[in-house]
Chains A and B, each alone.
Chain A
Amino acid sequence: MSHNAKRLPRRLQEAHLNQMTKSGLPPKIKRSSRRHRRRPRNLLAEYIRRQRNKIWLETHIWHAKRFHMIEKWGYRIASYANDKCFKANYRAMAKHCLMQDISYYTCVEINGHQEILKETLKSHCNPFELTFAAKIFMEGTREGTVMFFKKNGYPQFPIGHVHFLWRPNQSDLRTIWIWVHPSFLDDFVAEIISSFEFKRNEHCATTSNQTLESCLYINEKDCKMTIHKNTFNRFRFYGPLTINVLTNALQLPNINKTINLNLNTTQLDNNQIDCKKDHNSDKSWHIEYYDNQENIESLKIQKQLWQALKTLQSPSQLPPNVILGFTVLDPRFHLPDKRTKPRKEIHMTEIISVPPTNANSSPLWEQKIRGKVSKTCVTTSAINKIRSQCLVPGLNNDKHFNEEIMAKIPILLIQKPGIGNTGLGSGIDVILPSNWAMSFWLAFIFRSVKVGALRESKSIAFECENMQSPDINDPDTPAYAREALNTKLELREKYFHYPPNRRVNFIKFGITSPFSCEWNILMKEWANTEQFFVLRNRKLINLLRKSLVQENNSKRCNKSNNHVSSLSVQNAFEDKNYLIHVKVDIIRKGYPKRFAIICMPINEDVENFRVNRSWSGPVEKLNIDPNESIRKISRKNHLALLKRLKKQRTHHRKTLINKLSKMLSKDFQNFNYENKLKNLLEISRGAISKQSQKMSQLYLPECVKVRNSCNREIMGYITMGDFCFTKAKGIGFGYVTLNSLIELIDKKCPFVLIRNIQTRQYRIARLEVVT
């Protein structure tokens, strides 16, 4: 009988339902109709339910329709686009414009006395390089990127790269914004709290609903810290067309005029739209703000700058890392009819060689103004409604299309320099107040921007060889350890989903750690300590790089000179437990992948390389897998055991039935039998799980040795590698141990060997130390 009563004839349905309820089965709850579910109120309730244990970005729904979403760092983030094209994103980045929503970066705001801030933050940096307190950043004209360490931790205990910017035009009480990647936000905040001795301010939660996400901390020295989650949106643009897109989509208001007209308009427009009336005071924040002479000065400069910006061809023509503040109009009023690509004829270029003074001040820094701006975001439908009342639709000169109605939004633009004079990878970050993300996003989409997601962050950093990016964590950071553990478990699970004859036998290939990089073991075998750190001293890195280059060009260099440098390389280091960040580029064939091993060539390889031009690497011999026979026997035994257990079960069931018929009266005995049956079932289940554990242990035994696990000695691992579109060959980034690198320099070997985990073929590659 069906559970669905409606499958029965009408006359029987009632009786059937009665029977069903009697037997204790509740009638199934019907899923409400799509029409009901899609009603705005129900839909909103559903969205709120789904956001309960994670944060959605403001562009979430737009992304969720087009992208593969993953849960990461407490957010639901777009991972990659559903269209199958991968190279299109690179093309957009190199020649057109690629946009990313990176609002998941959290802004940590710290206020306080300049000296205190400088001192405390400086102790978290590498003292031999640019720090938070560098002169070039203090004026607030440029954004900086530094590696954040634990307090006085350098050269150990790094946490991750952070971006930061100082608020301009302040006297002694300064404000700094630090933009932190969510993968190490907790570590970062914990460090800051302990070093500033911050205490949580209790009554911040009661202030209002808006500051629900941003919590306030204070300490005795009058420093304040606010963590702004969801108060800003940050979009990242790459590519030469970025400038065109931005200048086309955003328009500057004519504020001077509005200030003069201010008095008239408020009286004239009394019959203005009702929905906007109540926001009027909030909406005119700019009138108050631009009353100040200083602000008007900066506004003038910004206006001039905007015109100059229009003439540029690429964001790489701006000063590197420059911050520019603007106030723009609501972009929804300037949408094109169709999705169009902005073009322009360049007749003249205005050169902005140094960041102009006063161009970076922005009302975005003021919390009150931010709040007002976020509140005044009217819905698109309201705007459309107003403008639909016009007689002639679609014109830019109707009475509702004036600047008093349009909201003014303060934004910040931050330039990101690219590489070389081609400007590849250069871009602009746009920082917006909350609530405005979607209207800006759509305005940019209408300018034919390609949208990238999480995957693109990494691939762009890889293409541009930008290792200062917060998306890439060094192996000695806690964020890397967490990520590595996750990927290891994920890949392991995937591996065991394959049938046994489709699994790569890594033991035969001599790969001991296929799904992770065992830095601890590697370091122990090379330097006798488990602890390891990535070398970040610029001088030492340069020394290593020079000696490597000399050794590569040993034909041209004097031998005596070479000898001296390699000696100093050995003496220069006190500790030997360093990992060196290296780049490999493949000389002939192949490309490196994640977890590939970097190996030291032997003399035979060097000879082969010298003699044979088309030789592209040796082949690893097929190792013997000692577990193979054990696995076979164990599998056989296991199957036999399962069969036996099954037989026992059927036997018991039969006897149970027989005995039941015999002794109908003796009920208590059959109870016993059923128990036994259950036990048998449990035994077989336990055996299965134990067997699968044992087999996985036999397939992927725990890694105990790395250095001498295959024919060639292992120096390190590749952490990121692929075919590089900019170089048109295989490129990889990885880390090698210091001792192995010194040995390589001593050997004067011109190349290293790279082997992916799924192959026995080594490939030859050139090694280069990365700064």
Chain B
Amino acid sequence: MADVHECSKLKVSFPEDRNAPTVKRKKLLFSNYNIRKRQPFDTRKKRKNKDIYVTNKTNFKAQLRICEKDLNNGASEVIIHGLGAAVERACRLALQLRENHYNTIELDIKTSTVPIIDDLEPVDDNADYVTINRNNSAVHIRVFRKFSLGTLKYQE
């Protein structure tokens, strides 16, 4: 298991010439704003059908089943992504997968930092937009088979 931390390659090419970005999150009165979140700026390569994004809302067992389905259908590897609060869940999912497969699968863990932007839309006429730039940690777990054994796994 190799733990590698990678920071996504980013460039801020349009310098923010207004006083907005230095605002601290806690100082704002949130009742005056509507929060609009943008999609996280995740720069990792996306491959079709291999990536599984873990959320805290989806049922844990359902996520487990999705991973197992992929693994059993001959996929050599599955990549589990967890962002922020879902990091814990992603780890739990990977460990559970390994346990279910009697330790025949390996985990390759990478962590990264993902920049996130929240836009706060004002409610009244005189205020301006506020953008909050923050970073969040993410985990990307590559789950792969050591040996290609058929479907050797714990059956429910």
Contacts and interface: CB of A to CB of B under 8 A. Distances in A.
A133 B21 CA distance: 24
Interface string B19-56: 01100000000000000111111110100000000000
A347 B43 contact: yes
Interface stretch (A4-12, A311-319, A698-706): A311-319
B14 A421 contact: no
Interface in A592-642: none
B122 A136 contact: yes
Interface stretch (A229-237, A349-357, A502-510): A349-357
Contacts of B119: 319-320
Interface in B71-125: 115-117, 119, 121-125
A351 B131 contact: no
B37 A353 contact: no
B41 A351 contact: yes
Q: Which of B18, B21, B124 has the most CB of A within 10 A?
A: B124
B38 A423 contact: yes
A384 interface: no
Give the secondary structure class of A's interface. Answer: loop
B143 to A, nearest CB: 23
Contacts of B124: 128-130, 134
A156 to B, nearest CB: 21
B8 interface: yes
Given A320-B36, A421-B38, A421-B40, A350 B128 contact: no
A308 B131 contact: no
Contacts of A691: none
Most chain A CB within a 10 A radius of its CB, from B8, B39, B115: B39
Nearest to A418: B39
A129 B123 contact: yes
A1 interface: no
A291 B71 CA distance: 61
Nearest to A314: B39
B61 interface: no
**Listed residue (B12, B43, B125) with the most chain A CB atoms within 10 angstroms of its CB:** B125
A314 to B, nearest CB: 5
Given A129-B124, A135-B125, A135-B128, A349 B41 contact: yes
A625 B127 CA distance: 60
A348 interface: yes
B45 A345 contact: yes
A351 B20 contact: no
A467 to B, nearest CB: 14
Given A320-B121, A348-B10, A136 B128 contact: yes
A601 to B, nearest CB: 27
Nearest to B21: A353
A317 B11 CA distance: 14
Contacts of A347: 9, 43
Contacts of A320: 36, 38, 119, 121
A94 to B, nearest CB: 13
Contacts of A334: none
A349 B43 contact: yes
Contacts of A351: 10-12, 41, 115, 117, 133
A133 B125 contact: yes
A420 interface: yes
B117 to A, nearest CB: 6
Interface string A279-308: 000000000000000000000000011001
B129 A354 contact: yes
Nearest to B121: A320
A421 B39 contact: yes
B3 interface: no
Contact of B16 (A308, A353, A423): A353
B12 A350 contact: yes
Nearest to B126: A135
Contacts of A136: 121-122, 127-129
B13 A304 contact: yes
A106 interface: no
Contacts of B156: none
B142 to A, nearest CB: 19
B129 A316 contact: no
B12 A130 contact: no
Contact of A135 (B8, B43, B45, B127): B127
Interface in A134-149: 134-136, 142
Contact of A349 (B9, B36, B126, B129): B9
A417 interface: yes
A371 to B, nearest CB: 33
A389 to B, nearest CB: 42
B39 A317 contact: yes
A443 to B, nearest CB: 25
A353 B39 contact: no
A320 B11 CA distance: 20
A135 B130 CA distance: 13
A620 B33 CA distance: 45
A131 interface: yes
Contact of A354 (B16, B36, B40, B115): B16
Nearest to B11: A350
A455 interface: no
B14 A354 contact: yes
Contacts of A68: none
Given A308-B13, A350-B12, A352-B14, A317 B125 contact: no
Contact of A317 (B8, B41, B122, B127): B41
A510 B36 CA distance: 43
A417 B45 CA distance: 24
Given A317-B39, A346-B45, A421-B39, A353 B125 contact: no
A520 interface: no
Nearest to B117: A353
B4 to A, nearest CB: 17
Contacts of B122: 130, 134, 136
Nearest to A118: B125
A353 B40 contact: no
A430 to B, nearest CB: 20
A421 B37 contact: yes
A421 B39 CA distance: 5
A316 B45 contact: no
A66 interface: no
Contacts of A356: 14
A422 B129 CA distance: 21
A651 interface: no
A192 to B, nearest CB: 20
Contacts of A350: 10-14
A93 to B, nearest CB: 15
A324 to B, nearest CB: 12
Nearest to B129: A136
A538 interface: yes
A464 to B, nearest CB: 13
A129 B17 CA distance: 27
Given A130-B122, A354-B129, A421-B40, A348 B11 contact: yes
A690 B75 CA distance: 71
A689 to B, nearest CB: 57
A318 B129 CA distance: 14
A350 B36 CA distance: 19
Contacts of B20: 354
A631 B37 CA distance: 60
13 contacts: A128-B124, A129-B124, A130-B122, A135-B127, A304-B14, A313-B39, A316-B38, A316-B39, A317-B39, A317-B41, A351-B41, A353-B133, A354-B18
Given A314-B39, A353-B21, A354-B18, 5 more contacts: A135-B127, A319-B119, A350-B14, A354-B21, A421-B38
Interface of B: 8-14, 16-18, 20-21, 36-43, 45, 115-117, 119, 121-129, 131, 133
Interface of A: 128-131, 133-136, 142, 304-305, 308, 313-314, 316-320, 345-354, 356-357, 417, 420-423, 426, 538
For the complex of A and B, the 8 pairs showing the least CB-CB separation, nearest first, are A423-B39, A421-B37, A134-B125, A348-B9, A356-B14, A316-B39, A314-B39, A349-B41
